[in-house]
Amino acid sequence: MKFERNFLLAAVALAALVPLAAYNEYALHIGIMIMFSVMLATSLNLIVGYVGEFPLGHTAFFGIGAYSAALLSARLGLPIYFTIPLAGIVAAISGLAIGAVTLRLRGPFFVIVTLCFAEVLRLVANNWIDLTNGPMGVSGIAKPPSIAGASGVQQKLWFYYAGLVLAAASLLVSYRFVYSNIGRAAVAVRENRFVAQSIGIWPFYLGLITFVLAAAVGGLAGGFYAHYISYVGPEVFGFSFMITMIIMVLAGGKGTLAGPVVGAVLVVFLEEYLRDFKDLRFSIFGLIVVGVVIFLPRGLMGFIGRRHESYERRPAESAKGGVKRDRRAPALEPAGLNRGGAADA
C-alpha cells in the first residue's frame, strides 16, 4: 500500500516535470497517449483486478464517453470543461445499466455478454446515422477556446497537463476506492466469493459499484480522446482498443494500481518502437501477448511485488514454505493441471 502510494506520487510528480525536459510536439504527443492509456488501463484494471471478472467489451464505456463528449460538443456546443465530466457521468450511468445486466453472469458467460454489448453499441454507432453520423463519425470536435490561437506545441502542452490531471484524478479515486472498506470487500469477493458471502458481503452490489466507477473512468478517457483527436467514429467500440487495454493491464500486473500505469507506459513506447516494423508489428504484438501470458502471468508489477514480499517475509515463511507448496499440488493432480502452481512458487 505504502509502496504503491509512493510509486504513484512519484510517477505523477515525474510526469509533471517531463515537459521541462522534452518540450516538442512528438514527445508531448507520446505523453498525451500515455495519460490516455493510463486512464483506460486503470479503468479496466478495476474490474479485472478487483472484481475478478473479465469484461471483453470494456470499450463500450470508452466509446460511450467519446461519443457523449463529441456529440455534446459538436451538437450543443458545450465547452470541454463540461463535456469531459459529462462523458464520465453518461458512461457511469450506462455502466450501471450494463453492469446490472452482465454481473449476474460469471466466467466465460460474463466475457461473452460484455463483448456482445460492445458489439451492439458499435453497430448502433454505425447505423444510427441521424445521431452519430454513421461510419463517417463525428468530426471537428472543438478544442478549448483558451488555446485556439496557440501553436501546435502549446496545444499539445495544454492537453498533456489536462490528461495528467484527469489521469491523476482517476488514480486518486481508484486508490481511495481500493483501500476503502468497499475495495477491501471487493478483494475478499475476488479471492473467495463464498467466504465473502458468508461474512455478509453482497458480491453483486460490490461488483456493480466497481463497474460504475470503472465505467466513469473509461468515459473520462473517452471524452479526453474525443477532444484531443477531434474525431470519433464507430471504431472506438472496436476490438483494437480492447486489445491495447488488455495488454497494458496484463503486462503491468492486474490487481495493483501501479501495474496498469507501468503497462500503459510500456505499451505506448512499444507501439511507437514497433512502428518501424510496419505491417509485421501486429504479428509481433500477437506473439508478445502470448509470451506475456505464458512467461509473466502476473505482469511486471506482480513479479516485482512478489520479490518485494518474499524478501520481507522470508524469515517467517522459510520454515513452512515447502510444506505449503506440497499441499497445493497433490500427487494425484493431472500433470497438465498444476502448471499454475509453478507461477506461485
Partner 1 sequence: MDLFLQLVANGLVLGAFYALSALGLTLVFGLMRVVNFAHGELYVIGGLFGWALTAVFGWNYFLALVVVVIVLGILGYLIDQILIARVRGQGEEPTILLTIGLSIFIANTALLIVGTTPVTVASPFASKPLILGPVVITQARLLLVVICAVLIAAANLLIQKTTLGRAMRATFQDPMAAQLVGIRTPRIYGFTFALGATLAGAAGMLLGSIYVVEASTGGIISLKAFVVVILGGMGSFAGAVAGGLILGLTEALWGGYVSTGYVDAIGFALVIVTLLVRPYGLFSRRAERA
Residues that bind partner 1 (CB under 8 A): 48, 54, 56, 101, 104-109, 111-113, 115-117, 119-120, 123-124, 126-127, 239, 243, 246, 250, 279-280, 282-283, 285-290, 292-294, 297, 332-340
- Give 82: exposed, middle or buried? Use CB within 10 Å, 0-12, 13-18, 19+: middle
Pick 18 or 243: Cβ nearer partner 1: 243
Q: Which is nearer to partner 1, 21 or 332 (CB)?
A: 332
In Å, how far are 28, 98, 129, 170 from 20, measured between CA atoms? 11, 43, 44, 24
Write the single-letter amino acid at 57.
G
CB of 341 to partner 1, least distance (A): 9
The three-state secondary structure class of 231 is strand
Cβ neighbours around 295 below 10 Å, total: 8
Least Å distance, CB 254 to partner 1, is: 9
Residue number with CB closer to partner 1 (290 or 316): 290
Question: Minimum distance between the CB of residue 159 and partner 1, rounded to whole angstroms?
Answer: 29
Alpha-carbon distance of 26 to 202, in angstroms, equals 48
Contacts of 152 (CB under 8 A, 6+ apart): 25
d(CA 87, CA 39): 14
Which residues have C-beta within 8 Å of that of residue 88, sequence separation ≥ 6? 65, 216, 217, 219, 220, 223
- Rounded to whole angstroms, the Cα distance separating 323 from 236 reads 50
Smaller CB separation from partner 1, 119 or 271: 119
Distance CA 168, CA 166 (A): 5
Query: What's the longest Cα–Cα distance across the chain?
Result: 72
Selection from 99, 75, 102, 98 nearest residue 86 by Cα: 75
Least spacing, CB of residue 300 vs partner 1, in Å: 15
Residue 139 or 283: the one with the smaller Cβ distance to partner 1 is 283
Q: How far is the CB of 2 from partner 1 (least distance, A)?
A: 28
Residue type, 231: Y
Instruction: Name the H helices within 199-257.
Output: 203-229, 239-252
Q: Residue 309 or 333: which CB sits closer to partner 1? A: 333
Cell 445499466: give the residue: 97
Output the smallest distance, CB 252 to partner 1, in A. Answer: 13
Nearer to partner 1 (CB atom), residue 6 or residue 197: 197
The HSE-up count of residue 13 (CA atoms within 13 Å, CB side) is 6
**Shortest Å distance, C-beta 17 to partner 1:** 35
Q: Which residues contact 45 (CB under 8 A, 6 or more apart)?
A: 174, 249, 254, 255, 257, 259, 260
Which residue, 56 or 80, has its beta carbon nearer to partner 1? 56
Could you tell me the smallest distance in angstroms from the CB atom of residue 106 to partner 1? 7
How many residues in total does the chain contain? 345
Least Å from the CB of residue 142 to partner 1: 30
| Nearer to partner 1 (CB atom), residue 51 or residue 304 | 51
